[in-house]
């Protein structure tokens, strides 16, 4: 069974602080995706990383895929209250497109 472990599960910080969320697995994935979910809505894709060691930036968000394609991280610089939400990593398994999610990290950014 392929599992994705996210840490931390909860994070409460002040506006302007930096933070990093980790997504780890003992399994290799063909790609890693990061989603953000707002209350009452479904998750929405932020980014997909495919190549081991790949780094992608989305404004103040930096995503990295581990060299062995087993882990990933999300770094937010100068967090803002609008970044508040549930962040989910998801691994795509093999060639079937099966999409497995981590438990999620609930982020609260206080003004």
Partner 1 sequence: DAGVIQSPRHEVTEMGQEVTLRCKPISGHNSLFWYRQTMMRGLELLIYFNNNVPIDDSGMPEDRFSAKMPNASFSTLKIQPSEPRDSAVYFCASSRTAVNTEAFFGQGTRLTVV
- Enumerate binding residues for partner 1 (CB under 8 A): 30-31, 33, 40-45, 48, 50, 88, 90, 92, 95-104
Report the nearest approach of partner 1 to the CB of residue 62 (Å).
Answer: 19
Residue 16 or 93: the one with the smaller Cβ distance to partner 1 is 93
Report the nearest approach of partner 1 to the CB of residue 56 (Å).
Answer: 13
Report the nearest approach of partner 1 to the CB of residue 72 (Å).
Answer: 14
Residue 78 or 97: the one with the smaller Cβ distance to partner 1 is 97
Distance CA 57, CA 48 (A): 11
User: By CB neighbour count within 10 A (0-12 exposed, 13-18 middle, 19+ buried), where does 71 fall?
Assistant: buried
Report the nearest approach of partner 1 to the CB of residue 29 (Å).
Answer: 10
Residue 48 or 62: the one with the smaller Cβ distance to partner 1 is 48
User: Tokens at residue 23, please?
Assistant: 């997504």
Residue 30 or 62: the one with the smaller Cβ distance to partner 1 is 30
């Amino acid at each position: 069974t392929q599992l994705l472990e996210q840490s931390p599960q909860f994070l409460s910080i002040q506006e302007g602080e930096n933070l990093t969320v980790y997504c780890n697995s003992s399994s290799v994935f063909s790609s890693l995706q990061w989603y953000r979910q707002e209350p009452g809505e479904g998750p929405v894709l932020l980014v997909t990383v495919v190549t081991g060691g790949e780094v992608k930036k989305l404004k103040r968000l930096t995503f990295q895929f581990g060299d062995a394609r087993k882990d990933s991280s999300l770094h937010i610089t100068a967090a803002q209250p609008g970044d508040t939400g549930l962040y989910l990593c998801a691994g795509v398994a093999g060639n079937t497109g099966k999409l497995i999610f981590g438990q999620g990290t609930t982020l609260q950014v206080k003004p």
